[in-house]
Amino acid sequence: MADMIVRAISFILPLFAFIVLIRTVRSMFNGKSQTEIWGYIQTDDKVLRITHWENIIGRTRSADIHLSNPKVSRVHAVLIRSAKGQWRIFDIFSKGGVRVNGQSVGASGYPLNDGDVINLSEVSVRFREINERQRSEIEARRIVTWRNVHPAITLLYLSIFQVFLLLEHCFSATQETLPEIALGFGLLILLEWFCYFAMRSIRRTGFEVETIAFFLSTIGLSVIATSVPSEMFRQMIIVFAGVVSFFLLGAWLRDLDRTKTMRLPAAVGAVLLLAAVLVLGREQNGAKNWIFIGSMSLQPSEFVKVAYIYVGAATLDRLFSTKNLIVFIGFSAVCVMALALMSDFGTALIFFVTFLVISFMRSGSIATVALAVTGAGMAGFLMLRMKAHVARRFAAWGHVWEDVYDTGYQQTHALSAGASGGLFGKGAGNGWLKDGFAANTDTVFSLVCEELGLIIAICAVLAIVSLAFFAVRNAAQGRSAYYSIAACATASMFLIQLALNVFGSVDILPFTGVTFPFVSRGGTSVLSCWMLLAFIKAGDTRKGASFVVKAPDAKQKEAKA
């Protein structure tokens, strides 16, 4: 009878996982992207909308404010709004210069007020600012995010999925571990509903990003319940800490001026963390990337991921600064070299790909990216010559079945276990891979395939992919280049981490031993994933969707009559 119930649940779980994923994706990509309006630029024959806090003015078609007059440089000026509402214009190496009401614009920019006349070379335009009341009226006409897909219904489907998954664990868990497993799932359900109602209380309706994170965290809890059930409560505490960190970082990012001022301290802190690991770190599984404090172990490189994106993203006034770019390249080199010295090449590769994404978004230069790839390829070749255990992993790539008792041991076991699960899995706790080495971290994708089935495993993969597409889609509507770059960099970091974990465990890519975001066992890994999620949330400018994005206040006193 128990086997029949488990089998029935195995068919039900993929259905609810698929429903949660489809509803979340529908909600995220529902309708056309809706731009915000912050002001206008008036020319002789038309009115151009200002749709960002940071805008490129120029002749190039990719400019935010496109002026086709040949006397205007391709990239002529940058128009920027501070978090306090003050507009400034900057001259970006234009040929004809920039003047405001006849005054030349220097390197530090020039403040703008409503009605000011801007001269771009010999072309005159007028700046028109809108106040908070007008902003509120425009915002009221935008469509709410959950018009067709209510987030509470999606969250209800997720809760049903979690209850059925807990029920499946009830048939495989021992009497000693069952209470802790039940407590873990119960606390997760309470936490997600608390977060939902907290968002509703501040009139925020976009809950898709959080729903995906809770869905992946549910699968992660199932992995813990299967492999180390005694750590269920500990893992739930980590998830709780991650959610708190997500909201704290998101609240911090609301003030862009404050965010920018802390980039240098964040960079210094990241370098000091890496230095501490090089001096105090212990080697585990070939990589010296762990610090032990009593019985607690930490992987500081996970926190450096957050700092790296925090520091690497930049506002438009900084994007065209050679000094700023050189500082970022130097910071990137320090991070990657430190990780290479720790022999943590999986994380070093994640940082490098993220560096390429940020560099391209900052410079728009494919040549710069190609040069970086060439240099990294040469450095990687030298490292393979110096690090024997890394070279062995690369040598085993594509040949794991030729040495199933040595270099191919982990992957052949992962492939066998994953294939044995089929589409619907053997049932939570009924697999054998859970007892293998690093099954709940490095080869967790195969563990999920074995116990929960290929359908749920693919849903987990698609959940990360949908986050990435969501971040890229929102990039064009981001208030600031900082938010857009940070969101896309986070998406790229999640994607490369996902690819290395999934494709590495099935021998499509070299086996690097990185974690599956939100799913793999780990304290600092799960914590950093939740923190990184705040950057994706910051890029979401849909009406009433993100708590990171400040909504216009109709009651706020107008700055100008």
Pair 41, 48: CB distance under 8 Å:
yes
Within this chain, do residues 409 and 449 fall inside the same structural domain, yes or no?
yes
Strand partners, 126: 42, 117
Q: What is the pLDDT of residue 374?
A: 59
| Sequence-ordered alpha helix ranges (H) in 316-431 | 316-319, 322-341, 345-363, 366-386, 388-396, 409-421
Residue of 165 and 277 predicted with greater confidence: 165
Write the burial class of residue 203 (CB in 10 Å: 0-12 exposed, 13-18 middle, 19+ buried). Answer: exposed
Q: In sequence order, what DSSP letters do the residues of 264-328 get, joined into one string?
A: HHHHHHHHHHHHHHHHH-EEETTEEEEEEETTEEE-THHHHHHHHHHHH---HHHHT-HHHHHHH
Domain end, chosen from 107, 139, 171, is at 139
34 inside domain: no
Within this chain, do residues 341 and 379 fall inside the same structural domain, yes or no?
yes
Given a cut of 90, is residue 539 above it in pLDDT? no
* pLDDT band of 561, cuts 50, 70, 90: very low
Residues above pLDDT 70, as percent of the chain: 86
545 inside domain: no
Domain end, chosen from 75, 110, 139, is at 139
Residue of 229 and 2 predicted with greater confidence: 229
Residue of 273 and 384 predicted with greater confidence: 273
The pair of structure tokens assigned to 428 is 């939570």
Reduced to 3 states, what is the DSSP secondary structure of residue 103? strand
* pLDDT band of 379, cuts 50, 70, 90: low
Q: What is the pLDDT of residue 336?
A: 83
Within this chain, do residues 342 and 255 fall inside the same structural domain, yes or no?
yes
* pLDDT band of 222, cuts 50, 70, 90: very high
Phi, psi dihedral angles at 57 (to 5 degrees):
-110, 125
Within this chain, do residues 123 and 8 fall inside the same structural domain, yes or no?
no
Residue of 219 and 388 predicted with greater confidence: 219
Angle, in degrees to the nearest 10, between helices 263-280 and 301-312: 160
Map tokens 């709940």 to a residue.
440
Q: How far apart are CA 361 and CA 238, in angstroms?
A: 33
Residue-wise pLDDT tens digits, 108-120: 888 998 888 999 8
Q: What is the pLDDT of residue 56?
A: 86
Q: What is the pLDDT of residue 364?
A: 56
Q: What is the pLDDT of residue 322?
A: 65
Helix (H) / strand (E) containing 89? strand 87-91
* pLDDT band of 298, cuts 50, 70, 90: confident
Q: What is the pLDDT of residue 160?
A: 97
506 inside domain: yes
3-class SS shares of the chain: helix, strand, coil, % to 5: 60, 10, 30
For range 494-518, the mean pLDDT: 89
550 inside domain: no
For range 400-404, the mean pLDDT: 75
Q: What is the pLDDT of residue 363?
A: 57
DSSP 543: B
Within this chain, do residues 350 and 224 fall inside the same structural domain, yes or no?
yes
Helix (H) / strand (E) containing 456? helix 454-475
- At 90, the amino acid letter reads F
Residue-wise pLDDT tens digits, 314-353: 765 566 666 777 788 888 888 888 887 887 778 888 888 8
Please give the tally of structural domains in the chain: 2
Given a cut of 80, is residue 531 above it in pLDDT? yes
CATH code of residue 77: 2.60.200.20
Within this chain, do residues 135 and 147 fall inside the same structural domain, yes or no?
no
How far, CA to CA in Å, does 251 sit from each of 80, 244, 385, 531, 550? 22, 11, 46, 11, 10
For range 389-406, the mean pLDDT: 67
Q: What is the pLDDT of residue 556?
A: 44
Model confidence, pTM:
0.88
Strand partners, 66: 58
108 inside domain: yes
Residue-wise pLDDT tens digits, 52-104: 888 888 888 878 888 888 888 888 888 988 878 889 998 887 888 889 898 88
Q: Which of 454, 445, 374, 370 is nearest to 420 (CA)?
A: 454
Within this chain, do residues 157 and 70 fall inside the same structural domain, yes or no?
no
Strands (E), 1-45: 39-42
* pLDDT band of 559, cuts 50, 70, 90: very low
Residue of 480 and 21 predicted with greater confidence: 21
For range 215-228, the mean pLDDT: 95
Given a cut of 90, is residue 250 above it in pLDDT? yes
Q: What is the pLDDT of residue 396?
A: 67
Within this chain, do residues 340 and 427 fall inside the same structural domain, yes or no?
yes
Pair 449, 427: CB distance under 8 Å:
no
Given a cut of 70, is residue 413 above it in pLDDT? yes
Within this chain, do residues 396 and 255 fall inside the same structural domain, yes or no?
yes
Q: What is the pLDDT of residue 147?
A: 64
* pLDDT band of 247, cuts 50, 70, 90: very high
Given a cut of 60, is residue 376 above it in pLDDT? no
Q: What is the pLDDT of residue 15?
A: 96
Angle, in degrees to the nearest 10, between helices 409-421 and 444-452: 20
Within this chain, do residues 437 and 469 fall inside the same structural domain, yes or no?
yes
256 inside domain: yes
Q: Which of 415, 417, 502, 510 is nearest to 464 (CA)?
A: 502
Q: What is the pLDDT of residue 461?
A: 97
* pLDDT band of 380, cuts 50, 70, 90: low
- Mean pLDDT (the chain) is 84
Strand partners, 58: 66
Residue of 195 and 29 predicted with greater confidence: 195
* pLDDT band of 558, cuts 50, 70, 90: very low
Q: How far apart are CA 343 and CA 284, in angstroms?
A: 10
544 inside domain: no
Given a cut of 50, is residue 469 above it in pLDDT? yes
List CB contacts of 87: < 8 A, sequence separation 6 or more. Answer: 39, 79, 80, 81, 111, 112, 113, 127, 129
Q: How far apart are CA 402 and CA 419, in angstroms?
A: 19
Full domain range(s) for residue 126: 39-139
Q: What is the pLDDT of residue 541?
A: 80
46 inside domain: yes
Least confident piece of the model among 288-302, 334-348, 370-384, 421-435: 370-384
Within this chain, do residues 359 and 213 fall inside the same structural domain, yes or no?
yes
Q: What is the pLDDT of residue 300?
A: 85
Q: How far apart are CA 326 and CA 323, in angstroms?
A: 5
Within this chain, do residues 211 and 256 fall inside the same structural domain, yes or no?
yes
